[in-house]
Amino acid sequence: MNNAVNYFKARQWAFSFIETHGLEADAADLLLCDQMGWSEAQLLMHFRDPMPVEEWQQYQTNVQKFVDGWPAQYLTGKAFFYGLQLKVTKDTLIPRPETEELVDWILADYDKQPIKLLDVGTGTGAIGLALKSERPNWDVTLSDISTDALAVAQQNATALNESVKFVQSDLLNEVDGKYDVIVSNPPYIAEDERKYMDRSVLEYEPELALFAPHHGLAIYQRIAVECTSYLKPHARMYFEIGFHQGQAVKQIFEKQFPEANVEVRQDINHHDRMVRVKL
């Protein structure tokens, strides 16, 4: 293709190239609109315009990276979660649709009453910011062991104009106060599960946010032991879990809190995905 390509022809090339590699061709529009700062309607308006050479070269580079396994969200620098646009970087996991169901569960349990909530291992801030956007009167704190991830969460909070607190902490070590709700989507993948994972996740998403010792259960075990002094009376904890970890995580919290009601809930795909600990 020569340098006199227009946006329509560039898009056609990208669709064909991506489909040839067995991937979702919708990424062609996503990458092009993001690169140009356009909506899909604006892209249609510019279809027949000549594409500057440097833009065409950049687009080819991004499409090639996508085919090579780069997640589209890392190429665009953003992801969407619970109706919010969030910045994502290589220091944060890409928020997953399944995690929105964890947000739904908390919102269903707590209507409009003000509560104090801690999002442990917040990453992009997805869970805590989604909850704050739906319940502006909640007192929300976001924590993460990674200063780089916490910086991304801070940028997202600023962009969304959400007033939340931040603390850099290895789980609960540096956290102050007591909470009505602690929520976490922690690292929960066991090392021996690498062989089942998508190459793009293994190569590009941060290992610190993916893997945990003790068959992926280490973070739940630590939180169960360390959380007591951070919980108000009748507090609740909510966790995302691996699809095969439901009973193991349930037993961890039942052992630590014999009087608690511990419930495992499935996601829309009928996989165990969430646990609620109700004290």
Token digits for 90? 């290589």
- The answer on 256 and 195 residing in a single domain is yes
Owning domain of residue 184: 78-278
Mean pLDDT of 191-198: 70
Burial of 206 (0-12, 13-18, 19+ CB in 10 A): middle
- The answer on 117 and 49 residing in a single domain is no
Q: Which of helix, strand or coil describes residue 127?
A: helix
Mean pLDDT of 253-278: 96
For residue 15, being part of any structural domain is answered with yes
pLDDT of residue 112: 83
For residue 216, being part of any structural domain is answered with yes
Total residues found in the chain within this entry: 279
- The answer on 264 and 147 residing in a single domain is yes
For residue 99, being part of any structural domain is answered with yes
Per-residue pLDDT tens for 215-245? 789 999 999 999 999 999 999 999 999 988 9
**Measured torsion, CA atoms of residues 73, 55, 158, 107, in degrees rounded to the nearest 10:** -30
For residue 1, being part of any structural domain is answered with no
Q: Is 26 annotated as a binding residue?
A: no
- The answer on 64 and 187 residing in a single domain is no
Q: Is 185 annotated as a binding residue?
A: yes
With beta carbons less than 8 A apart as the criterion, state whether 247 and 264 touch: yes
pLDDT of residue 196: 67
Q: Is 206 annotated as a binding residue?
A: no
Q: Is 188 annotated as a binding residue?
A: yes
- The answer on 23 and 129 residing in a single domain is no
Q: Is 216 annotated as a binding residue?
A: no
pLDDT of residue 197: 64
Q: Is 124 annotated as a binding residue?
A: yes
Q: Is 122 annotated as a binding residue?
A: yes
Provide the b/e sequence for 161-190 (b: ≥16 CB within 10 Å): ebebebbebebbeebeeebbbbbbbbbbbb
Q: How far apart are CA 84 and CA 240, in angstroms?
A: 20
CATH of the domain at 234: 3.40.50.150
Mean pLDDT of 18-27: 93
Q: Reply yes or no on whether the pLDDT at 190 is more than 90.
A: no
Q: Is 144 annotated as a binding residue?
A: yes
- The answer on 250 and 118 residing in a single domain is yes
Q: How far apart are CA 279 and CA 274, in angstroms?
A: 16
Q: Is 37 annotated as a binding residue?
A: no
- The answer on 119 and 48 residing in a single domain is no
Q: Reply yes or no on whether the pLDDT at 113 is more than 50.
A: yes
For residue 227, being part of any structural domain is answered with yes
pLDDT of residue 1: 45
The count of structural domains within the chain is 2
Q: How far apart are CA 178 and CA 229, in angstroms?
A: 7
- The answer on 119 and 15 residing in a single domain is no
pTM (2 decimals)? 0.89
pLDDT of residue 3: 54
